[in-house]
Amino acid sequence: MRVQARALDEEDLPMLRAALAAAGLPTDDIDQPGREFYAVLDHRGRTIGYGGLERHGAAALLRSIVVPPRERGRGQGSVIVETLEGEAAKRGITALYVLTTDATPFFARIGYASIDRASVPAAIAATSQFTTLCPATATVMRKRIGP
């Protein structure tokens, strides 16, 4: 699937907020600094879903990955993650972390490994996703990217 990422700006946030809320993902902090959100578009310019990066040095939190419910299971989620990995690598990020309550099998299939919360860098552990927005029972996963 040939796709491109379009960085979202402030006026796109209500649309993103609606998609995240519908999927039960956190929305409270999406307008805070340090987050970059993208719409991923297919070759016809149609949005296949959204995703975001929250950078902390050489590490980033991969977050807010969402595909519309009726379109799941066709590879779009994997393409979105792959696209964000490309954006992250371009910025010199070498490790991506993700918190998920029920999409662990999805991330495992695309190279993310479950890790102990104690091995998460302090800056990532201090993000609002870690401290407040996601439940303490969520699984933390990591993938190393780049050279």
Binding site for ligand COA (CB under 6 A): 23, 25, 63-67, 72-78, 100, 102-103, 105-106
Q: Which residue number has the CB closest to ligand COA?
A: 77
Q: How far is CA 39 from the centre of its chain?
A: 11
- Write down the least CB distance from residue 9 to ligand COA, Å: 21
In whole angstroms, the minimum distance from the beta carbon of 64 to ligand COA comes to 6
**Which SS3 state, helix, strand or coil, does residue 125 take?**
helix
For ligand COA, which is the closer residue by CB, 105 or 147? 105
**Secondary structure class of 127 (helix, strand, coil):** coil
For 38, the 3-state DSSP assignment is: strand
Nearest to ligand COA of 69, 147 (CB atom) = 69
Provide the β-strand partners of residue 98. Answer: 141
Q: How far is the CB of 8 from ligand COA (least distance, A)?
A: 16
Q: How far apart are the first and last CA of the chain?
A: 24
